[in-house]
Amino acid sequence: MHISRVDLNLFTVFEAIYTEGSVTRASQKLNLTQPAISHALGRLRQMFDDPLFVRQGHAMVSTPLARSIIDPIRRSLRSLEVTLNGVHAFDPATTAKRFNIALRDVLEATILPPLMLQVRQSAPLVDVAASHVERRELQSEMANGTLDVAIDVLLPLPSDIMHTRIYQDSTVVVARKGHPAIDGTIDIDTYLKQDHILASSRRRGPGLEDFELSRFGMERRICLRCQHYFAACRVVSQTDMVLTMPGRYARIANEQFGNQIIPFPLEVPPFDVFLYWHSNVDNDPANRWFREQVIASTR
């Protein structure tokens, strides 16, 4: 089938139905009538000789063929969009645009304040939306353009996801001021004798520091498992329990508590934090500008 015989608008409709799971929501997203969306879907079904979407209740469920072609179609649409947008240079001083960034909540407090200070100085009409995106969804979200960049530790992502290291962080131990066994320093024997807090979004399983301890045949006693470092820091301030956490966030989260922040008592390498983006926006002026702001704000 030659490309000249294909209405490229059909692929925009296909991607919208796939993403929204509904003809109604696809019509709202594209600002088209439902009959127009249904007509386009009929042409797509004829072109591919496949139903592509099957109604189950109120949802349109994709067929195996639809699932096999969605990624290349999304990449092609995104590349075309980047090409068209590239005709007009991105001017941060006058352009109204929203950038979507994925990062975990522990990184929000360290990344967003300096980033927004950087952005607001040169781009008053630019908005930023930060959200938690499951790591297994990062590739598809960036491929279809619903996500501009992501910030996380080193991840095993496919080659079409590009990345660069933006900073290194260290592991520290947090203990309350006046702790009976800890005063500015801590050795490994004292560390292991303490009652520990583990902050994790997972219900079970060890923390990264536990993997490091296990390499030396060591194990600590975790007395409290909670979801957020901030809550854990408050518990530390009112008990003799200790917390192990990233150093950058430790300095922010403990400002109001006055807890001690002490280097981790084992020689462990610092961990890297990376900025990720899709290869199809590598040369997009807007995305490139935003990546530059992220990098500059984390130095």
105: pLDDT strictly greater than 80: yes
Q: Locate all alpha helices (DSSP H) within the chain, ordered by sequence.
A: 9-20, 23-30, 34-48, 64-86, 105-122, 138-143, 188-193, 208-215, 229-238, 247-253, 285-297
Mean pLDDT of 60-80: 88
Mean pLDDT of 1-6: 67
What secondary structure letter does DSSP report for 175? E
Residue 176: φ, ψ to 5°: -70, 155
12: pLDDT strictly greater than 80: yes
Q: pLDDT above 90 covers what percent of the chain?
A: 70
pLDDT tens-digit readout, 245-293: 999 999 999 999 999 999 999 988 898 999 999 998 898 889 999 999 9
Pairing relationship of beta strands 242-246 and 126-131 according to DSSP bridges: unpaired
Mean pLDDT of 37-61: 91
- Would you place residue 95 in the very low, low, confident or very high pLDDT band (cuts 50, 70, 90)? confident
Mean pLDDT of 195-212: 90
Mean pLDDT score across all residues of the chain? 91
Q: Residue 87 has what pLDDT?
A: 54
- Would you place residue 125 in the very low, low, confident or very high pLDDT band (cuts 50, 70, 90)? very high
Which tokens hold the place of 30?
A: 């594209």
Q: Which residue has the higher pLDDT, 96 or 261?
A: 261
